[in-house]
Amino acid sequence: MFLKSPPELILASTSRYRRELLARVYAPFECEAPGVDETRREQESTLALVTRLALGKARAVAARHPAAWVIGSDQAAVLKDSAGAEMVLGKPGTAERCAETLRNCSAATVAYHTGVALVRASDGSAYEFIDTTRVIFRELDEATIARYIARESPLDCAGGFKSEGLGISLCEAIESEDPSALIGLPLIRLCSVLRRVGYPIP
């Protein structure tokens, strides 16, 4: 049974991608920057990283709004080298770094780990989960990479591509349980958790 008046919902993020995703399934909600240090700790796995940051972001905002439910999320794109070591692909920021990232992704599989936390400070409630989506890239030559960056400029996206846009043309396949996860917020599982705490999502 849904609550008659669900408590305030806050997205602990300034990402326009996450804001647009959440707006697909629920409104109104607020957005607030969590102000959390996102530096990866020494020898920290990417799964541990996204779990820690998702919870840390949610708790940072929830501390300022104890009665609200707060969503925190973090995503890391991971490519394994020939020795099996993890290489985290961040947001490239520049066209040069984006090209370098896409060269590394050529004919490779990149795992996108997305951690999500939903917390409420007033009673200490917390729900956490992780989605992993795997992107298998086709072989990318220099001309393909240059054309793609020029047309889409995905400089603020982990791994340097947007699956919801032209970036889909760079893929051979995407292995996923939730197509929204790759964009930044796994809506299928999140909707389930939001319904569980009383939000009237169909």
Q: Which amino acid is at 172?
A: E
SS3 31: strand
Cα dist from 162 to 22, 86, 151, whole Å: 18, 21, 12
pLDDT surpassing 70 at residue 163? yes
Q: Look at residue 82 in the predicted model and tell me its pLDDT.
A: 75
Domain locations in the chain?
A: 9-196
Confidence of residue 4 (pLDDT cuts 50, 70, 90): low
- Mean per-residue pLDDT of the chain: 93
Q: Which of 74, 123, 131, 141 is catalytic?
A: 74
Q: Which two tokens stand for residue 139?
A: 């072989």
Q: Which two tokens stand for residue 104?
A: 């590394």
Residue 80 CA from chain centroid, whole number? 19
Are residues 58 and 117 in contact, defined by beta-carbon separation less than 8 angstroms? yes
Quick: pLDDT tens for 58-77.
999 999 999 999 999 999 99
Quick: pLDDT tens for 12-22.
999 999 999 99
Q: How many residues does the chain have?
A: 202
- Fold (topology level) of 9-196: Maf protein (3.90.950)
Q: Which two tokens stand for residue 13?
A: 């993020």
Q: Look at residue 1 in the predicted model and tell me its pLDDT.
A: 47
Quick: pLDDT tens for 96-142.
999 999 999 999 999 999 999 999 999 999 999 999 999 999 999 99
Q: What is the 3-state secondary structure (H, E, C) of 165-199?
A: CHHHHHEEEEECCCCCHHHCCCHHHHHHHHHHCCC
Indicate if 74 belongs to the active site: yes
Quick: pLDDT tens for 150-162.
999 999 888 899 9
